[in-house]
Amino acid sequence: MSRDSKPELVLRPRVAAALQRLRDSRDGGAVGVIGEIVSQLLGCEEHALLVLGEGGARLQPIAAMGLTPQRLESLLAPEGIIGQVARHGVPYLVGRTSSVGALAHEAGLTACIAIRSGRQVRGVLALFRMLPQKRSLTGEDLELLDVISEEGAPAFSDPRGGAFILQPPSTEPLPSRTAPGLRALFLQPGGVVTAAQPTEVTTILGSCVSVCLWDEHLRLGGMNHFLLPTAPRGQLPCGRHGEAAIPMLLRDLERLGSQRRNLRAKVFGGAHVAGAPAGGAGPTLGQRNAELARRLLAEAGIPIIAEDLGGRVGRKLRFRTEDGLALVKTLEGG
């Protein structure tokens, strides 16, 4: 792509890489490329690639990952949402399009798209469970799905054949990720959590910073985990950026009834684990994250009663919302 192209024509790296790899694999390897796009670029851990048989009577599996053989078998009758997509070519996207007509075995379907040659639907790609850190499909994810829809058909005649990484049949139900009644949770980077019920929140920090806030009167609290002090240019600030993550945490606690004057802060992270010597060319990312936390908390009038910031090691942090107890374990490398 020319550097002189208009900015709106420049594809983002994720989409551009997917497009180029699919075009380069027209003569073989498209099945593998679709698998890489789905698992690595979209963050989906269960999918099935199905080709529409003669007359559209049945779907045949070309590739699948993470599904049990029984689950894969249940998807092959062209019924339910997957059948609708195969017949009409209109994509299904959870939360964005109607799920009317979904069948029981389609529970957990995140997206289903048609894969075409020209105008003809040749097959479908069904995405089920996403990785735990992948919360929802973004606009860029939809562009990736469009690329697969338009460029993925060579997978149906891939001389290198299909690819199946199936789960063994399960006789016991899988353990729930968040067992009911167990008030312990892991906070992913970019997350903000507040809890009115006693909860232990765990997270792991390198250069990222977590602010823990505790209301000593109501005995409740919350925590964030931000990666950058401010949003990169052109991006909306969110929980991944301190400038948004700290106000979000404060607002959520105020919604639970907290008053700012009763809040106490503990701040952790901001390390420079390895790399250019700190102090070489200005503050490190960890220092900038820590400085932002201190500044925003000072502006909000919230005292920092404990902190463990900087240094050159990662930290595992456990915070109890009930009594504000924070335990830090350093993660020594080597």
Partner 1 sequence: MAEPKKILLVDDSPTVLLMERLLLQDGPYELLSVTSGQEALETALSARPDVILMDVVMPGMDGFEVCRRLRAEEATRATPIILVTTRGGPEHIEQGYESGCSDYVTKPFDGNELRAKIEGLLGH
What residue ranges bind partner 1 (CB under 8 A)?
A: 12-14, 16-18, 20-21, 33, 36-37, 39-43, 45, 131-134, 186, 188-189, 202-204, 206-207, 227-228, 232, 234-235, 240, 273-277, 280-282, 284-286, 288, 313-314, 316, 331-334
Closest C-alpha among 252, 246, 257 to residue 301:
246
Cβ of residue 94: shortest distance to partner 1, in angstroms?
17
- By beta-carbon proximity to partner 1, the closer residue of 141 and 307 is 141
Q: Which residues of 207-220 are buried (b: 16+ CB within 10 A; e: fewer)?
A: bbbbbbbbbeeeeb
Tokens (6 digits) for 144: 């990736």
Residue 118 gets which letter from DSSP?
A: T
Nearer to partner 1, 78 or 314 (CB): 314
- CB nearer partner 1, residue 248 or residue 313: 313
Residue 29: how many CB atoms within 10 A of its CB? 18
CB of 131 to partner 1, least distance (A): 6
3-state SS, one letter per residue, for 146-206 = HHHHHHCHHHHHCCCCCEEECCCCCCCCCCCCCCCCCCEEECCCCCEEEECCCCEEEEEEC
Closer Cβ to partner 1, 301 or 334, answer by number: 334
| Nearest residue (CB) to partner 1, 45 versus 291 | 45
Q: Say how many C-beta atoms besides its own lie within 10 A of residue 68's C-beta.
A: 15
Q: What is the smallest separation between the CB atom of 318 and partner 1, expressed in angstroms?
A: 10
Q: From the CB of 111, what's the least distance to partner 1, in Å? A: 14
User: Shortest distance, CB of residue 45 to partner 1, whole angstroms?
Assistant: 8
Give yes or no for a contact between 164 and 73, defined as CB atoms under 8 angstroms apart. Answer: no
